[in-house]
């Protein structure tokens, strides 16, 4: 009888984890009984491992509704508290807490959920150990509460937020990481003491066993939009829908029908005279939803096998952008193997068909993956297939080794090609703040992955060795909290045995005790060749050169925040004989915690700027460039925001000398005429957003822009003034989307 009464008394305690938690920003001890309680927060920024300077606690609890997490952050009046209201996916340095979860515990993909002390949110996907992509937006609950002694935060992450493997014996092993950032000092304290400043981060999360819960979800997000073109005097109306279906944890489908990819977000202005393509991130919801599985990147800047901006990008017939009829994406798992399928189709004679298959398998200290992409481009009579294998190996806590092997097969009349690429990078934590890194890359001369991927340059061989040391135990009287020094030597050649350059790099990244950050870098380059400048008409020999930069960012203090950068650069055919400069200054003034004004000015001078003219003719110009940026950010309330963004750009180039590149790569002076030129560019947007419900928005967007090339301007500020008159495009867009969950 006593045993029965004891069991009856213990029954409520055994079922506590199934109790609902009210997400209201007030931590009720009764709600969080049975949670995993974390108190051992350690400093990871600076990365000293010392105990937190302010008491911080966290509670982690699995419930049927989702993974619930609470934070209690003690913060006395002597430590200033940032009360600034921020927009979604903010980057401002404010008081905040982070939860990061690897739902499968395999170190492949993590999800980052951030709450500021004013209940602003940030979410991102974490891949490749330390790579964050904030373009993804999830639907999760959050709330904060402030009092005299500190502030609290609560969040609930539903189980349908991401695909995840089956558990075992009613249990699931997650890997979690929680941290807190003090906005006024930049100090970050975490449990466990892992840092994204190290080569291993995601795989160092703490295992946590929780009961298996599963949620199904069917969400349909239809949209309607109307656009009026004030220049052409025309209007356009459209509609479509995004569909999200997750019947269980092991399968997830995302689809889009007649998607509207009109820009409610404005891309930064870019004028590119170089031979390599500018990378632009993708903010379109369908392409960011659970995209982490498809990440296949290399150490080369932004390179990846699936670059979703290709879908709906410039059409093959040169007439605008591709018109996407529909796209679908499947994510799921079969045992320990995860899979993903991606497909998209464009309409019309120039329409393309895109497809991708992804498979990954996790082992105790390794990940192995396969990626296949295929693009059918009937207008060009071209078929492009790319296959890649990726392997991540963590043989010990000190080592992280990543390898990639991939190849392309192009079938196009008269232009068939096959080639390979391979990369390896190894990071070694030596202890005492010392680290080493080795990277080697080979991209074949005929390697072509840009039908659906992104690679800035093929025909490339690269290798570097880097040693670095982190200093964190600095004296209390020092204005610095930490310093991170790096020294690197590298070599770049092409597949034809030509040296592009050898380089020595030295850099220092520093965190100041007042929350500011500094970065300084110098690169010294040997003589070499530029094999891209003439677009395949010969490599040109270049002398040695250097570049140096210093950046400083100060977070908000009182009503002001600012950042600046100064650069000194040599190059061109003049090498170190002629040195240019660049300077940038960006202040922000806070009228209130909800309303701020920002401005920025950038100016540079390039004394020997080489610009390709045609075939093997290049021109040397004295180049000048100016940017003026301004904006307004107003967080009207928890659901409304108004953003104004202005960008102007002016480039003036005065011709100095024409050069022909001979068969040996020498630049030979030519009397052929080359013309002075200038460029003017404008981008202006007013955007109002109202959040009707989670992931449901009303947008009203006014945009204006223009681009013009003309003659050289004697007055350096004429170009900026002229850019305000540009009006190639002027549009008013109204878009309404609403997410229905079933």
Q: Dihedral of CA 272/276/279/280: which sign?
A: positive
Task: Give kind and range of the element (H or E) at residue 149.
Answer: none
**What is the average pLDDT score of the chain?**
92
**What's the pLDDT score for residue 169?**
87
Which pLDDT tens digit goes with each residue over 600-612?
999 999 999 999 9
Which pLDDT tens digit goes with each residue over 357-389?
999 998 888 889 999 999 999 999 999 999 999
**What's the pLDDT score for residue 265?**
67
Instruction: Give 79's strand partners.
Output: none
Burial 572-599 (b: 16+ CB within 10 A, else e): bbbbeebbbebebebebebeeebebebe
**What's the pLDDT score for residue 14?**
37
Task: Say if CB 462 and CB 478 are below 8 A apart.
Answer: no
| Segments of the chain scoring below 50 in pLDDT | 1-18
Burial 451-466 (b: 16+ CB within 10 A, else e): bbbbbbbbbbbbebeb
**What's the pLDDT score for residue 13?**
37
SS3 326: strand
Distance in Å from the first CA to the final CA of the chain: 47
**What's the pLDDT score for residue 263?**
57
Which pLDDT tens digit goes with each residue over 421-463?
999 999 999 989 999 999 999 999 999 999 999 999 999 999 9
Q: What is the DSSP string of 178-242?
A: EEEE-TTT--EEEES---TTSS--GGGSEEEEEE-----EEEEEEEEEEEEETTTTEEEEEEEEE
Q: Say how far apart CA 712 and CA 710 lie, in whole Å.
A: 7
Pick the CATH number of 12-215 from 2.60.40.1190, 3.40.50.1370, 1.20.1080.10, 3.60.20.30: 2.60.40.1190
SS3 172: strand
**What's the pLDDT score for residue 291?**
84
**Which residues, including other chains, have CB under 8 Å from residue 120's CB and lie 6 or more apart?**
85, 86, 87, 88, 90, 94, 96
**What's the pLDDT score for residue 283?**
78
Structure tokens at 57: 């606690």
**What's the pLDDT score for residue 266?**
67
Domain boundaries of the chain, sorted by first residue: 12-215, 249-262+277-456
Q: Which of 219, 221, 263 is nearest to 242 (CA)?
A: 221
């Amino acid at each position: 009888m006593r045993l029965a009464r004891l069991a009856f008394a213990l029954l409520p305690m055994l079922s506590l984890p199934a109790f609902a938690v009210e997400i209201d920003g007030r931590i009720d001890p009764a709600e969080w009984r049975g949670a995993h309680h974390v108190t051992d927060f350690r400093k990871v920024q600076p990365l000293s491992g010392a105990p937190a300077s302010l008491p911080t606690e966290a509670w982690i609890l699995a419930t049927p509704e989702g993974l619930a997490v609470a934070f209690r952050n003690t913060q006395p009046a002597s430590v200033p508290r940032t009360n600034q209201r921020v927009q979604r996916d903010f980057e401002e340095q404010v008081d905040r807490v982070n939860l990061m979860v690897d739902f499968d515990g395999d170190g492949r993909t993590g999800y980052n959920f951030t709450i500021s002390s004013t209940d602003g949110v940030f979410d991102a996907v974490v891949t490749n150990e330390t790579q964050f992509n904030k373009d993804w937006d999830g639907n999760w609950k959050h709330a904060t509460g402030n009092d005299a002694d500190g502030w609290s935060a609560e969040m609930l992450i539903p189980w349908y937020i991401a695909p995840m493997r089956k558990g075992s014996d009613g249990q699931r092993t997650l890997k979690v990481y929680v941290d807190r950032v003090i906005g006024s000092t930049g100090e970050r304290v975490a449990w466990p003491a892992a840092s994204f400043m190290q080569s291993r981060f995601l795989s160092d999360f703490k295992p946590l066993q929780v009961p298996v819960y599963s949620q199904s979800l069917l969400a349909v997000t239809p949209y309607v939009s109307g656009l009026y073109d004030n220049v052409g005097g025309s209007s356009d109306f459209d509609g479509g829908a995004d569909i999200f279906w997750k019947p269980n944890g092991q399968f997830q489908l995302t689809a889009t029908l007649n998607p509207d990819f009109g820009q409610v977000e404005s891309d930064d202005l870019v004028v590119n005279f170089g031979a390599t393509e500018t990378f632009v991130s993708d903010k379109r919801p369908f392409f960011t939803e659970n995209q982490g599985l498809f990440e296949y990147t290399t150490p080369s800047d932004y390179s990846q096998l699936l670059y979703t901006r290709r879908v709906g990008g410039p059409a093959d017939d040169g007439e605008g952008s591709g018109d996407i009829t529909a796209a679908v994406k499947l994510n799921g798992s079969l045992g320990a193997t995860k899979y993903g399928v991606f497909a998209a189709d464009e309409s019309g004679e120039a329409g393309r068909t895109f497809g991708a298959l992804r498979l990954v398998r996790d082992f105790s200290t390794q990940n192995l993956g396969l990626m296949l992409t295929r693009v059918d481009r009937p207008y060009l009579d071209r078929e492009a297939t790319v296959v890649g294998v990726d392997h991540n190996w963590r043989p010990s806590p000190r080592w992280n080794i990543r390898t990639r092997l991939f190849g392309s097969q192009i079938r196009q009349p008269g232009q068939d090609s096959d080639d390979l690429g391979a990369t390896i990078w190894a990071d070694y934590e030596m202890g005492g703040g010392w680290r080493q890194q080795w990277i080697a890359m080979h991209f074949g001369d005929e390697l072509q992955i840009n039908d659906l991927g992104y690679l800035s340059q093929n025909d490339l061989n690269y290798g570097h060795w880097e040693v670095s040391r982190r200093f964190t135990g600095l004296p209390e009287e020092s204005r610095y909290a930490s310093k991170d020094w790096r020294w690197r030597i590298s070599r770049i050649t092409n597949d034809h045995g030509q040296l592009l350059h050898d380089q020595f790099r030295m850099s220092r990244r520093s965190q100041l005790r007042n929350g500011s950050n500094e970065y300084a870098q110098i690169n010294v380059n040997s003589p070499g060749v530029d094999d891209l400048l003439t677009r395949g008409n010969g490599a040109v020999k270049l002398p040695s050169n250097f570049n140096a930069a210093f950046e400083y960012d100060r977070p908000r203090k009182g009503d002001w925040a600012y950042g600046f950068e100064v650069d000194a650069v040599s190059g061109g055919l003049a090498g170190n004989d002629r040195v240019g400069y660049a300077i940038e200054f960006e202040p922000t003034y806070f009228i209130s915690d909800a309303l701020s004004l920002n401005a920025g000015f950038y100016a540079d001078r390039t004394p020997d700027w080489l610009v390709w003219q045609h075939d093997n003719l290049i021109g040397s110009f004295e180049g000048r460039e100016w940017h003026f940026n301004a904006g307004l950010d107003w967080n009207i309330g928890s659901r409304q925001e108004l953003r104004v963004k202005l960008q102007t750009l002016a480039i003036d180039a005065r011709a100095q000398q024409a050069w022909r590149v001979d068969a040996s790569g020498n630049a030979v002076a030519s009397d052929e005429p080359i013309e002075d030129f200038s460029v003017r560019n404008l981008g202006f947007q007013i955007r109002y957003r109202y959040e009707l419900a989670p992931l449901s928005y009303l947008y009203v967007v006014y945009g204006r822009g223009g681009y013009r090339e003309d003659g050289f301007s004697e007055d350096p500020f004429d170009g900026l003034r002229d850019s305000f008159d540009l009006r190639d495009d002027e549009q008013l867009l109204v878009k309404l989307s609403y997410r229905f969950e079933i």
